[in-house]
Amino acid sequence: MTVAPITNLDYVILLCGRLADTRSFYLETMRFPMEMDRPEWVSFRVGSGLLTLRPRGRGLAGDDGPAVAGSAAVQLAFRVPPPAIDDWRAALVAKGVPILSPPKELAGWRHRTLFFRDPEGNIVELYAEI
């Protein structure tokens, strides 16, 4: 049996215990354009894909169960232009977002990075190719 290759990641769904806070974070802090805004399904356009939020619990694939306290479920990485890393750090700090790791260059990856968490505890990375 031959299957067609997978060629695109269309959307990512973040399971949320704090949907309202996470919605505000991605809308107001990250400034992602809203694609859909329903009480239990919120989608933001990020490039050609969607970042979608839904409440943790019963879903189409079953019950997600509780989040593990203190652990991230995912790490999201978003590419920005090189000069934007320091601007983003300042904007995030001004909004009270705790920075996990200050901007730094990862020579082996040829990236300049900045790490922080969203309201669900997921790790968010902004990176610029250098």
* CA–CA dist 45, 3 (Å, integer): 29
Q: Which structural domains are found in the chain, ordered by start? A: 11-59+72-129 (3.10.180.10)
* CA–CA dist 104, 38 (Å, integer): 38
pLDDT tens digits in sequence order for the chain, 130 residues long: 788 777 888 899 999 999 999 999 999 999 999 999 999 999 999 999 999 999 987 765 665 666 767 677 789 999 999 889 999 999 999 999 999 999 999 999 999 999 999 999 899 999 999 8
Can you tell me which residue has the tokens 């919605």?
23
Q: Are 126 and 85 in contact (CB under 8 A)?
A: yes
**Quick check: helix, strand or coil at residue 108?**
coil
CA 10 to chain centre: 14
